C-alpha cells in the first residue's frame, strides 16, 4: 500500500512538476513565485526564500533576480530595517500565478468532500513533518499552526501577535506562510504574555 501511495504522489507531482521550464520559468522559479505569493511580511526576504527552497542565499538571490528580470517580482526596502529588503510580487506576477500548472491539482483536491480533504491533509502533514525531522530540516507553514502566534480578545477586539518578531499581525495574515514557523507540537506552546 505504501508503494502505491508513493506512486500516486509521484503521478500527482507530474501534473505540475516539470523539467526545464514552462511559461519561461524553471521549477525553482515557480516554487519561489508560489512561496512569495503566500508568504507573510516577515518571510519575503532572500534568507527566508533560501530557507524555503533549501538552497543558499546566493542561489535564492539569483532566482529572485530572474523573477525580477521577468517583471514578476520587485525588491523593496523594509521600513523597519533599512538594511533589509522584501521580495514582493508585482501585479504581473500575481496574474502569472493564475496560469500555474499546480492549479489543476488544487481544483481536483477542492472537488473532494471535506472529510476526505481533511484526512488527506492530516496524513500528508504527519508524513512531511516526519521527513523534516529526519532530515533536520525546517519548513514554512501558516501562522495559525505556529507556537509563536498569540491570539487575544473576541469579535472586534480580537487581535494577533507574533511572539517571535514581537509584532502585531493582521488576522488575514495568520493564514500566510512563515519561514520562522515552529509547530505547536514541536516544542509545546508558549505561554500567553500578559
18-33 tens-digit pLDDT: 655 667 888 889 989 9
Question: pLDDT for 48-75, tens place per residue?
Answer: 999 888 889 999 999 999 999 999 999 9
Q: Enter the pTM of the model.
A: 0.74
Question: pLDDT for 146-188, tens place per residue?
Answer: 888 888 888 888 888 888 888 888 888 888 888 878 777 654 4
User: What does the alpha-carbon distance between residue 1 and residue 136 come to, in Å, rounded to a whole number?
Assistant: 27
Alpha carbon 7 to chain centroid, angstroms? 25
Domain with CATH 1.10.10.10 in the chain: 23-116
Which residues touch 115 (CB under 8 Å, ≥6 apart)?
none
User: What does the alpha-carbon distance between residue 39 and residue 160 come to, in Å, rounded to a whole number?
Assistant: 17
Which cell numbers hold the place of 60? 535564492
The class of domain 23-116 in CATH terms is mainly alpha
Amino acid at each position: 500500500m505504501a508503494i502505491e501511495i508513493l506512486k500516486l504522489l509521484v503521478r500527482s507531482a507530474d501534473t505540475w512538476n516539470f523539467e526545464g521550464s514552462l511559461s519561461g520559468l524553471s521549477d525553482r522559479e515557480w516554487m519561489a513565485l508560489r512561496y512569495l505569493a503566500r508568504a507573510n511580511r516577515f518571510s519575503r526576504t532572500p534568507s527566508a526564500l533560501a530557507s524555503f527552497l533549501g538552497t543558499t542565499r546566493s542561489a535564492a538571490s539569483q532566482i529572485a533576480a530572474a523573477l525580477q528580470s521577468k517583471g514578476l517580482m520587485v525588491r523593496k526596502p523594509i521600513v523597519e530595517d533599512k538594511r533589509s529588503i522584501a521580495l514582493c510580487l508585482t501585479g504581473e506576477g500575481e496574474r502569472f500565478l493564475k496560469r500555474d500548472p499546480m492549479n489543476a491539482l488544487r481544483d481536483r483536491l477542492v472537488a473532494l468532500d471535506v472529510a476526505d480533504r481533511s484526512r488527506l491533509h492530516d496524513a500528508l502533514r504527519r508524513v512531511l513533518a516526519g521527513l523534516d525531522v529526519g532530515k533536520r530540516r525546517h519548513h514554512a507553514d501558516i501562522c495559525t499552526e505556529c507556537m509563536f502566534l498569540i491570539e487575544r480578545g473576541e469579535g472586534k477586539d480580537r487581535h494577533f501577535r507574533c511572539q517571535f518578531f514581537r509584532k502585531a499581525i493582521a488576522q488575514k495574515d495568520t493564514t500566510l506562510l512563515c519561514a520562522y514557523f515552529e509547530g505547536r507540537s514541536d516544542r509545546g506552546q508558549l505561554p500567553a504574555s500578559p
